[in-house]
Amino acid sequence: MRIHILQHERYESPGYIEDWIKEKNYILTFTRFYESGILPEMNEFDWLIIMGGPMGVYDDNTFLWLKEEKIFIKSSIDAGKIVLGICLGSQLIAAALGAKVYKNKFKEIGWLNIKLTKNAKDNFLFSSFQDHIKVFQWHSDKFDLPAGAIRLAESEACKNQAFVVNDKVIALQFHCEVTESSLREMVIEGKSELVPNEYVQTGEDILRQKNLIHTNNKMMDALLNKIENKFL
């Protein structure tokens, strides 16, 4: 299995996802847009993973590689690749599939609850999970569902938290990949956004709940294993 990761910022790393890939001894390659925008050919990877970042999918004039990235994601989906998007990655998938991405009424930053939809219980990815799960969130944008997408999760502040298209394309607004070190880096780099309100926690509150990292990583592990078992 050849897995390619699109990483938008140094401090929004693959975290546990990279640990899982290395444990499986799969081939791992990167496009790190903060260093270089070179993308692989379609025949060079089997699975595309798109990470988060502080930019918006609509910031093409500031981040000139975004337009090409969205085209590349659409081409990957059309080519039948496994595609997994995290946070910004989920928004880029939505945009690549023609859905609208825009500012949410509320930011969601911190350890917050999501609720699984009825459709999630019938989906191979989420069927074994509890109805309510506390996950790590850090986003201010939301997306409409693309055509053919099945919504899997929601929260009080953001209706569309996860969706799947044709089983192979999976989008998650939340960060189950965070590790203790990556969480600390995100808090340090994003401290200007941590203005507490109903859906935004302080950096201290976020780091105080680091015991939830293990639960989130177990969820990510289960998701990755389910994808692997279905398509390998």
How far apart are alpha carbons 179 and 184 in whole angstroms? 8
Domain count, the chain: 1
Q: Hey, which bits of the chain come out as E strands?
A: 2-7, 27-32, 47-50, 82-86, 101-116, 132-143, 150-154, 162-165, 169-172
The owner of tokens 């592990």 is: 221
- For the record, the structure tokens of 211 come out as 């015991």
Q: State the residue range of the domain holding 151.
A: 2-231
pLDDT of residue 232: 84
Instruction: Identify residue 212 by its one-letter amino acid code.
Output: L
Integer CA distances (angstroms), 126 to 47, 121, 148, in order: 19, 6, 18
The owner of tokens 């790590």 is: 136
pLDDT one-digit tens code per residue, 152-179: 999 999 999 999 999 999 999 999 999 9
CATH number for the domain including 173?
3.40.50.880
Residue 107's SS3 state is strand
Please answer whether residues 114 and 152 qualify as being in contact, where contact means their C-beta atoms are separated by less than 8 angstroms.
Answer: no
Instruction: With a cut of 70, list the residues of the chain below it in pLDDT.
Output: none
pLDDT one-digit tens code per residue, 64-88: 999 999 999 999 999 999 999 999 9
- For the record, the structure tokens of 87 come out as 């946070």
Please answer whether residues 124 and 230 qualify as being in contact, where contact means their C-beta atoms are separated by less than 8 angstroms.
Answer: yes
pLDDT of residue 192: 97
Please answer whether residues 2 and 43 qualify as being in contact, where contact means their C-beta atoms are separated by less than 8 angstroms.
Answer: no
